[in-house]
Structure 1
């Protein structure tokens, strides 16, 4: 017997994780953040904030982008002063992408905006329901098929 809950969650995740959904949200979050910060560079900033300094090749899977795209977008972010390139101490041939103070500030603002948008979308939920959802979502992500 099929599990309707599993299908319902899978369908919701399909929408949530869809490229168009992410791009639309990232476009809205980056409005007014400067020319270098847009839906195309958002994944790089976000991934670097999560992982710390990485090479473009290592960062690409975390950002959900091709290595060449990461390299091009990183150049855009570097020109804007949001990241810098440093030699990799473990591989002299490699270069690490590192957020600058300005880059960390930009990521902080993006995270604040995302949290505010999420909070706003939950205001109509009954008391306690959003907190329960957050706990269960965290558990699903850490214990479910993504772990």
Structure 2
């Protein structure tokens, strides 16, 4: 008889399942991979008040700089982001969202919300809040030390 998995293993397994479903497009809707990459760039840029560099994109998406550079170039070509000078270092260019990019971010956020909201319709507000609190805490605790 197999032992019942502990709570840590259950969480790890659930996170793995979520990751696999996300990769298959269950949480973002079905879209070509290049469009998913462009949306990821838009998300990163939208999450900052100041322009972000290609290096920032690479770090946040945990991809190598050359891959980040290619994805950023596609995002520029698609008019989702524009390159702007970085004030503290004239050698660098930063990225800002265009109007089209802001619209994309809003659309993607809405699709994500629907994808999560629908299966939680029968949940109580307390259960939803508890999940939000604990999941946010886990995500923050999983973040590598910045120091």
Q: TM-score, normalised by structure 1?
A: 0.77
Residue number among 130, 141, 145 corresponding to 2:139 in the alignment: 141
Per the TM alignment, residue 103 of structure 1 is displaced from its structure 2 partner at its CA by 0.6
Structure 1 outlier segments of 4+, above 4 Å: none
Residue number among 94, 97, 100 corresponding to 1:96 in the alignment: 94
CA distance in 2, matches of 1:25, 1:36: 10
Give the match's secondary structure for 2:52. Answer: coil
Give the match's secondary structure for 2:90. Answer: strand
What residue number does 2:7 align with? 5
CA distance in 1, matches of 2:100, 2:30: 15
Which structure has more relative contact order (CA 8 Å, sep 6+)? It is 2
Residue number among 14, 18, 42 corresponding to 2:16 in the alignment: 14
Farther-moved stretch of structure 1 (84-93 vs 20-29):
20-29
Tell me if 1:70 matches 2:68.
yes
Farther-moved stretch of structure 1 (90-99 vs 127-136):
127-136
Equivalent pairs counted in the alignment come to 139
Q: Deviations over 1:106-141 (max 9, x none)?
A: 101110110111101212335632232222222333
Root-mean-square deviation (Å): 2.7
Q: Deviations over 1:11-50 (max 9, x none)?
A: 222333x4x433323784364xxx8971222221111111
Question: Relative to structure 1, is the Cα distance of residues 88 and 125 closer, same or farther in structure 2, using a 3 angstrom cutoff?
Answer: same
**Residues 36 and 80 of structure 1 are in contact (CA less than 8 Å); yes or no, is this contact kept in structure 2?**
no
Q: TM-score, normalised by structure 2?
A: 0.77
Structure 1: gaps (5+ residues): none
Structure 2: gaps (5+ residues): none
